[in-house]
Every structure is written in C-alpha cells, then in structure tokens.
Structure 1
C-alpha cells in the first residue's frame, strides 16, 4: 500500500493497526509471564527439594563439640550425592549422622515456626528439628583403634598427629580412654575435635552399637563451612590420615574383594567356553 503513496508514509489506519498489534503482543507477553510465575516458583521449589534430598543439605552447629574446626552457629553444607554411588565415609572426614540410638536422649529440640519448617523441608534453611550429630571419623571397618590415658589415638598401630584439629589444650582421650578393639563391619568410630567436650563413640560403648555408628546412619560428609561468611572454609581430611601404613589393614580386604568378584564373573565364561570346545571336539 505504501507504493501507492508517493510520500512513502503509510496511511493512518495501517499505522494504528500495527501499533495496536505490537501493544497487544506486549500485553499478552506480560500476562503470560505472570501466568507462568507460579509454575517457575513450583519448579524452583521442586529443584530445591531434590537438591536437599540427593545432593547437598545445610546443617547448623548447635554445640561446641567440634571446636575449633566448627563453632556454635556455623552452617555447613553436607555432600549427600557421593553415598548414592557407593562411597562410604573415610578416616578423617567430618560427617553428619542420625542419632544411632540414645546419643541425644534428653537433649532439647528446637521448635521452629511453620515458615522455618517449610524452608528447612526444601533445604533453604538448616535442619533444626532432626536429631543429627556431627563428628570426625577416626576409624572404619576392619581398623584397630585405641587410646590410652596420656597417650595418642592409634589406628592400626599408627599414631595420629591430631594437632591440626583437636581443640588447643585438650588431651587425645584422657577423659575417656578406650581400646584396643576392631571396628565391626559397616561401622565407624567417631570422635569430636573438642575432646573434653564431646559425647562421642567413647561415651556410648555400652549401648546397642557398642559406641560405633552404623554406616547407613550417615547423612553425608560435611564439605564446606558456608556461614558466616568470614568463616567460609573447606573441611579437608588432615594429612595424618594419609600416612604410610595406616591403610594396611583395610587394603587387604579392599584388594581381595575385586579379585573374588572378578573370579566369580569369569567362572560362567570359562564354563561356557569349555562346553563349546567339548561340543566342537565331538562334532569333529
């Protein structure tokens, strides 16, 4: 139509139609956004819940049992993903675990309001209601662990240098010596870094688990101090747990398992091959 107008100016009627169309699209887009907003919020909440359930969860520290590594009021992020792939807690890791049986008996439980419960449920706030504990793994299945009064903690006969994480001025175990004994299958021996202020495995040797923590009670490994900001840090495994010879007892069991599984896996193939060769010989 503009070709019929030598001025090149579109007729007023067409101009107004185009403007109305553009405005209508913009208004329609705005309405569409507000209609989709509840869906976007729903997806975000579902993702937050999935992350909390399967990937990472925040926990608050309510006591001084892990000083100075962790302070009362710290928020830590716990890795819940790797256990899904068969990873189990290792020596030196800081882990969160459910009460294995009476460890927190008599301890008061916070009473959060409805909003705090909801935010905790989807993982946007640390869990406050659940009775969980946080300690350091000292020994795992198959390890021999002991600590005499006035002496250090020993794992598989190796002395642990705990100066990097035990609370300054604390002894290794003078308040509650233990051992030696061997950690049972699928169990852990855990201790707090503030040894004289931690009701850990040492104080529960008379319970149903003998003071050990079942591996299936572990929620995950604490990997980061996320709050407050000025205390942000990663929770790495101290070097003393990497010393030569410490893994000697466990390495035999670990190395023999793949060998046994490999032998079992190869057996059907060997039998099938022998049968095939026998049939071939008969045919010839």
Structure 2
C-alpha cells in the first residue's frame, strides 16, 4: 500500500463545521452580547452626549460622557458638586436637549447602551435635602447653608458683560437676589456650569410676581437621577475622568 493510499484512508482530524451550527453559534454570541450590554446599561454604566452649552466650559456640545450608577445604589445619593444626568422632571427639556439619535441603527444601539443617547439633562448638584441656597454674597458667590462656595474652578467665566454673581437668572430683576429651599427630602437643587445659559433649578423658582407657580418645580426628584458623570469619553483629545470638586467640602449640614 502506497503512502498515498494510507493518507486517503485516514480519518480527517477535524470535520468541517456545518453552516447551521456556525449560524447558531453566531446568533447565540450576539444574543449574549446584547444581554450583557443591557445589563451594563441598566445597572452600571451608560453613555450620553452633551446637546447644549449649559455645562460649559467643562462639557461642551457633542461631548460623549459616561455615567456610572453604583454610587447611588441603596442609601447612596447625589452629593453637592456631583455632575448628574437625570430624566426631565417636567417641562425642563428644550429642543436641543430632547433630541435623540436619528438613524434607525443609532436608535437600536442606543436602546442597548452601545450609542450615546439624548433626552436627558446634565447639571451639577448645588443643594441636597435640607439645604438652603442663596444668591449671593458680597463677592457674588452662591451660598449653601450660609457658606459661600468658590466655583471659579468649574463654572464658565462671564466677561462680556461682566458677571456680577455666580447665579444669575433670566428674570432680570431677580439677578443675584434669590434664595431656594430648604430643599425637600428626596430631591436635589441643580445648576448648569454655564450660569447665563442653563435652564436649571434657578430658572424654575417662583419669583415674587409669579402666578400659578409650584415651588417644588425647582427641585429634581432623586428617583429621576440616572447616575453620576465620571468620564468624558469623546473626543479622545479631551478625554478625562470627571471628579466632584472640593468646593463644597466646607458647606455645613443643614440646621
């Protein structure tokens, strides 16, 4: 028997995989990947994009951010200085902020957490339950529970025209002369870092001449908070971790 005959009689070392089996394995891997992505999005990390200028200079339009959720599990909740993403408490979203991914593929990927979504708001927590926020001291600083907060490290400086305080409101007469709180239990008071262009809690306060205004509209329920921004992921040239500043460390507990 020649070597050629022996080779032809030997059993193959590896049988070819059937097309059906290959397809089944691919589908199973895809289902597993989607399920894993949904678990990560639901319980751990979710991606969003910045649709407006309200959080400049730190976060600008079209930045991609990552939000983590474990910090607020259980009894944990938003802390002063945290940058948070939250659902619309009711009538806060403008046209830009309510925008969603346009293409069918992008919307599908967004559903499972593989594409940044809109339809949420991004603001900084200035007051938590029990806090009283006052604008402003003689140096133009926001005060929380009577303690001035130096926010120069993260809010947008306004030079033209010069900004007289760190918390102006678009109502004109109330600029630099308003207060909020005590913040109701289970809610937070939030502001954008771009104080002159942010539809935040201060905008929803009831002014002295307001009619049919609900004072609770200025506060965001903690149940609406998706999570805390912990990273700017895109563009890569500006990517960095987002930390809670120490500007609020000296704020006393509410009395």
Q: TM-score, normalised by structure 2?
A: 0.83
Instruction: State the shift of 1:81 in Å.
Output: 2.8
Instruction: State the shift of 1:33 in Å.
Output: 4.1
Q: State the partner residue of 1:201.
A: 201
Q: State the partner residue of 1:236.
A: 243
Taking the TM superposition and a 5 Å limit, the aligned residue runs for 1:7-18 are 13-18=5-10
Instruction: State the shift of 1:93 in Å.
Output: 0.3
d(CA) in 2 for partners of 1:201 and 1:71? 20
Instruction: State the shift of 1:104 in Å.
Output: 1.8
Contact 2:141 2:166 in 1 (8 A): yes
Instruction: State the shift of 1:12 in Å.
Output: 5.3
Superposed CA RMSD: 2.4
Q: 2:167 aligns with which of 173, 185, 189?
A: 173
Contact 1:188 1:213 in 2 (8 A): yes
d(CA) in 2 for partners of 1:164 and 1:118? 38
Structure 1: 5+ residue runs without aligned partners? 1-8, 251-284
Instruction: State the shift of 1:156 in Å.
Output: 1.4
Instruction: State the shift of 1:239 in Å.
Output: 1.5
Q: Which has the higher helix share?
A: 1
Q: State the partner residue of 1:248.
A: 253
- Partner-residue secondary structure (3-state), 2:218: coil
Q: State the partner residue of 2:189.
A: 189
CA deviation string 1:102-133 (max 9, x = no partner): 112666634612111101101111113x3x11
Contact 1:91 1:241 in 2 (8 A): yes
Q: State the partner residue of 2:123.
A: 135
- Partner-residue secondary structure (3-state), 1:146: strand
- Greater RCO structure (CA 8 Å; 6+ sep): 2
Instruction: State the shift of 1:159 in Å.
Output: 0.8
Runs of 4+ deviating beyond 6 Å = none
Instruction: State the shift of 1:84 in Å.
Output: 3.0
Q: TM-score, normalised by structure 1?
A: 0.75
Q: 1:57 aligns with which of 46, 52, 56?
A: 46
CA 1:14–1:84: 2 relative to 1, 3 Å: farther
Instruction: State the shift of 1:29 in Å.
Output: 8.0
Q: State the partner residue of 2:172.
A: none
CA 1:70–1:105: 2 relative to 1, 3 Å: closer
Contact 2:147 2:252 in 1 (8 A): no
Instruction: State the shift of 1:26 in Å.
Output: 4.2
CA 1:72–1:233: 2 relative to 1, 3 Å: same
